[in-house]
Amino acid sequence: MIRTAVSALGGVLMWAAFPPRDLWFLGILSLALLAAALRDVVRFREGFWYGFVFGLGFFLPLLPWIGVYVGPLPWVALAVVMSLYTGLFGVIACRTTTWPAALLWFAIMWVTVEWARSSFPFGGFPWGRTAFGQVGGPMLSLASIGGAPLVSFSVALTGAALTAVIGAVIRRPVRWQTVVPALVLALITPIVAAALWPSVDGRNSSDDEITVAAIQGNVPRLGLDFNDQRRAVLDNHVRETLRLAAAVDAGDTARPDIVVWPENASDIDPTANEDAAEEITAASAAVGAPILVGTLVRNADGRPTNTVLVWDGRRDSGDQIRGRYDKQIIQPFGEYLPWRSFFTLFSSYADQAGNFRAGTGPGVVAVETTGGQNVTVGVSTCWEIAFDRSARKAVQSGAQFLSVPTNNATFGRTQMTYQQLAMSQLRAVEHGRAVVVAATSGVSAIIAPDGHTSSRSGFFEPATLQGTIPLHTGETIATKIGPWPERLAVLLGVCAFLFLLAPGIRFRGWSKEEHGDGA
């Protein structure tokens, strides 16, 4: 019962580490408690139970936005499925506590399980990765070296090492041969992370700068029918852009080089509806800058794509669309429904999922700015920013800054948008790029390459954010080495899992009997 309570508390503390709270240190304490609960456990079913309870304590309070307009069943079902992964972690981790370098194995297995749930099934669900709860803490700098996997690894290692230190100290006599290496492992990643911060920004004096504007036009209503009123969402974004144009003409603010609209900012297809095209052209011409327009485009095969169009109203009619990006990682149960006949048995809302087509290409668009400068802009639309490969692909394709058009109106006034914003902050540090987040109803933000937000909007209000951002062309270590550190960790983790399936094998180098270190 005590171990179950400790596991549940660990899960709740992991949730508390996530935005909008700035309690990143609870993520370390959370995994320290999980390591303590798994200490000296030898039965697989017990390890699974403690890991599963930890998952419920974390995912249930993290994900209620899933069911805010569709009922609790999808929310609870997803939380349970995600908890199966932490249960699997418990199965493996409780046995690796007797292995040499047990603390390292704890962290390796944590990264492996996070990779698994971020990949399977249906493309995975990366929400709630440990790294996304660290954007307010010192370990965020490690993202510039190894991305989200290294941050998650470091939090798990520090938490497990903390448990090992405490466990060794409270035993009598104190086993210094355990305390010293565990203490070193507990301190090494925070020290390295702190040392990295001066180099995190990644800018140099030769970087150009541009002025960007993120438009948050707002929506007429909350919920799944946010766009039922034809052209209302588009009208809102045009209106807010015209306000910016008036401020520019009055000399109250600088003319932006690029304007970023959110996902679904045009609720009707401007490539097929002349009235929508005319409105967007007028807004772009008035502000004197190209607009990245989020919209839905119906293609020749009848299937829609979630699209960002580079729209330049300064050009002649018929030549305004200068580039296009189609969302490449589409969202299951939203933009498409896997196993449609099966899932509609559980919720009538499931059948409302779309039949979107995934895009292809390098993940960037070329934009000619107000001043005639050619800028390569990376695009990660909403759901995509949760996946490592989206921003990485864009930067490796030459993106000088990242744009994240998103529409969170269907999730109401929940914490979902803050959780997603944290992902954009991590991507900024990971790749050394400024990030512009444009949301239909909030929260929009302009994020510096060091992960700090220079400006941020509120919820469900029209807003314009404007700022100067660097155009960076260099690559961080994380960008250069890509997914290889995670692949190595996963390879080791899978080998460890297969090794555990072999009967009769048990290491005793770090066992309770010899060292008193079960973490």
Residues 192-235: tens digit of each pLDDT: 999 999 888 766 656 799 999 999 999 986 655 555 566 899 99
Stretch 447-463: mean pLDDT, rounded?
96
Nearest to 217 by CA among 252, 267, 251, 286: 267
User: Which of 253-257, 290-294, 300-304 has the least mean pLDDT?
Assistant: 300-304
| In the chain, where the domains are located | 2-200+480-515, 208-475
Nearest to 94 by CA among 33, 44, 165, 31: 44
pLDDT at 504 over 70: no
Residue 408: burial class (beta carbons within 10 Å; 0-12, 13-18, 19+)? buried
Stretch 284-305: mean pLDDT, rounded?
96
359 Cβ contact list (under 8 Å, min separation 6): 305, 307, 325, 326, 327, 328
Go through the chain and tell me how many residues it has. 519
What is the rounded distance in angstroms from the CA atom of residue 179 to the CA atom of residue 183? 6
Distance of CA 498 to the CA centre of its chain: 30
Distance of CA 110 to the CA centre of its chain: 17
Q: What per-residue confidence (pLDDT) applies to 513?
A: 37
Half-sphere exposure of 184 (CA within 13 A, CB side): 7
Set 382, 384, 393, 486: catalytic member = 382
Q: Rounding to the nearest 10 degrees, give the CA dihedral for residues 290, 292, 295, 298.
A: 70
Express each pLDDT in 101-141 by its tens digit: 999 999 999 999 999 999 999 999 999 999 999 999 999 99
What is the rounded distance in angstroms from the CA atom of residue 436 to the CA atom of residue 447? 6
For residue 100, CA distances in Å to 37, 56, 175 come to 20, 30, 16
Q: What per-residue confidence (pLDDT) applies to 342?
A: 78
Which pair of structure tokens corresponds to residue 261? 């609209």
Residue 446: burial class (beta carbons within 10 Å; 0-12, 13-18, 19+)? buried
pLDDT at 144 over 50: yes
Set 114, 240, 279, 327: catalytic member = 327
445-447 sheet: strands from edge to edge: 364-368, 374-379, 401-406, 435-439, 445-447, 453-456
307: left (phi > 0), else alpha (psi -120 to 50), else beta? beta
Give the confidence band of 512 by pLDDT, cuts at 50, 70, 90: very low
Q: What per-residue confidence (pLDDT) applies to 516?
A: 40
Q: What per-residue confidence (pLDDT) applies to 410?
A: 84
Q: What per-residue confidence (pLDDT) applies to 514?
A: 36
Express each pLDDT in 260-282 by its tens digit: 999 999 989 999 999 999 999 99
Half-sphere exposure of 205 (CA within 13 A, CB side): 0
Which pair of structure tokens corresponds to residue 38? 């798994």
For 442, the 3-state DSSP assignment is coil
Q: What is the pTM (predicted TM-score) of this model? A: 0.93
Stretch 443-463: mean pLDDT, rounded?
96
pLDDT at 511 over 50: no
Is residue 263 part of the annotated active site? The answer reads yes
- The residue behind tokens 């809302």 is 349
Q: What per-residue confidence (pLDDT) applies to 343?
A: 72
Residue 341: burial class (beta carbons within 10 Å; 0-12, 13-18, 19+)? exposed
**Hey, what CATH class is 208-475 in?**
alpha beta
Stretch 229-246: mean pLDDT, rounded?
93
What is the rounded distance in angstroms from the CA atom of residue 511 to the CA atom of residue 519? 9
Instruction: List residues bridging with 210 in a β-sheet.
Output: 469
pLDDT at 347 over 90: no
Express each pLDDT in 5-30 by its tens digit: 999 999 999 999 999 998 999 999 99
Mean pLDDT of all residues in the chain? 92
Stretch 294-298: mean pLDDT, rounded?
96
Stretch 391-410: mean pLDDT, rounded?
97
Q: What per-residue confidence (pLDDT) applies to 58?
A: 99
Q: What per-residue confidence (pLDDT) applies to 226?
A: 52
Q: What per-residue confidence (pLDDT) applies to 98?
A: 84
For 309, the 3-state DSSP assignment is strand
Is residue 382 part of the annotated active site? The answer reads yes
Is 71:347 a contact under the CB 8 Å cutoff? yes
192: left (phi > 0), else alpha (psi -120 to 50), else beta? alpha
512 Cβ contact list (under 8 Å, min separation 6): 39, 40, 98, 518
For 328, the 3-state DSSP assignment is coil
Stretch 487-506: mean pLDDT, rounded?
86
Cα radius of gyration (the chain): 24
Nearest to 47 by CA among 122, 106, 126: 106
Q: What per-residue confidence (pLDDT) applies to 422?
A: 98
Is 487:74 a contact under the CB 8 Å cutoff? no
Is 148:132 a contact under the CB 8 Å cutoff? yes
Express each pLDDT in 401-451 by its tens digit: 999 999 998 888 899 999 999 999 999 999 999 999 999 998 999 999 999
Set 114, 263, 368, 430: catalytic member = 263
Q: Where are the beta strands (DSSP E) in 327-462?
A: 364-368, 374-379, 401-406, 435-439, 445-447, 453-456
pLDDT at 460 over 80: yes
60 Cβ contact list (under 8 Å, min separation 6): 76, 79
Give the confidence band of 164 by pLDDT, cuts at 50, 70, 90: very high
